[in-house]
Chains A and B, each alone.
Chain A
Amino acid sequence: MKKKIILSILALIVLVIIGVWFFVIYAPTTSWYWGNRNIAREKGITVTATAISQAYTNNEDSANKLYLNKAIQVTGETSEVKKTEDGKLTVTLKGADAFSGVYCTLKDSTASVQNGATVTLKGICTGHLSDVVIIDAIIVK
């Protein structure tokens, strides 16, 4: 009888621990918890602009397996800061070579980014055209 009580208490504790971990620690890092995807809450894969552009020029398929549709926190030197014709702010980070960089479109078009500065941005990687493309980006640093 006693054994049963102890066992059920133990089971309860384990359940509570799993529950706390799931709802307090794990779930807030996922997009479904917040309904719409919220980049600011996602941890993001940390990578340099040089490394991610190199990965895509080396092998697009394997780079897609690592980065496609993931939140990417990318650090690099800005080579171009530009407003597009439809008013979006875009930042190009220097990549591994002169032909392929990281082309980021920022969520907040009023943000200010210095040309030539080293910045860290976090956004969703949608793949690679002539640059690695990152959209819905926010400024981390």
Chain B
Amino acid sequence: MKKVLLVAVAFVGFTAVHAQKIYATKSAQVKFFSSTKAEDIEATNSQAESKLSDKGPLMFSLLIKGFRFENELMQEHFNEKDYMNSDQYPKSEFKGTITNVATVNFTKDGAYPVVAEGNLTIRGVTQKVTAKGTLTVAGGKVSTKSVFKIKAKDFGLTGKLITGTISEELEITVTAKYD
């Protein structure tokens, strides 16, 4: 009897673990926008990887050298040592969770307001961030979109390159359409 119970418990545990569904993409888009009196700067990276579990965990990772600017000179500056230093820090990453994932029904079409909380690492500096966004379920496909702001100096981005041409606050737009 005990054995049967044990097997039953193990079985339930097993299915519970495997009930987790992971959504993934290798072509999430991350855009940043900076606006100063002098000019607006915008760059897009279309090869970000993202994984989302229907239990809440969410991660993004991207390569700094994958950001494309309209102005190629700007792109070079962006990657230089005194700015993103992408030779030394080629990646940026977010690891966190959707805190209100319980309100999302992954089997029912709709646009669900969500909040993601976690650690964002840029240029080797990790900071806690909270971002509001929308999780959309449409015909079994899941996508997420979030717009949030970060302060450049929180990630050690200071110096004359920043104060002159790039605003203190950067607006980040993340769009992921999962496979």
Inter-subunit contact A129/B62 (CB<8 Å): yes
**Assuming A37-B72, A68-B87, A68-B90, is B65 touching A127 (CB within 8 A)?**
yes
Main secondary structure of the interface of A (DSSP, over half): loop
Among B26, B29, B61, B86, the one with the most A-chain Cβ atoms within 10 Å of its Cβ is: B26
B91 at the interface (CB under 8 A from A): yes
Interface residue tally for chain A (C-beta within 8 Å): 22
A133 at the interface (CB under 8 A from B): yes
Inter-subunit contact A90/B61 (CB<8 Å): no
A35 to B64, CA, bound (A): 21
Encoded as 1 (CB less than 8 Å from any A CB) or 0, chain B from 42 to 66 comes to: 0000110100000000000111111
Inter-subunit contact B47/A105 (CB<8 Å): yes
Shortest Cβ distance from residue A40 to the other chain B in the assembled complex, whole angstroms: 16
What would 11 A/B residue contacts be, using CB atoms closer than 8 Å?
A36-B72, A68-B87, A68-B90, A84-B27, A85-B177, A88-B46, A126-B64, A126-B65, A127-B63, A127-B65, A135-B47
B→A interface (CB under 8 Å): 26-27, 29, 46-47, 49, 61-66, 68, 72, 79, 86-87, 90-91, 143, 177
A→B interface (CB under 8 Å): 35-37, 64, 68-69, 84-86, 88, 90, 103, 105, 124, 126-131, 133, 135
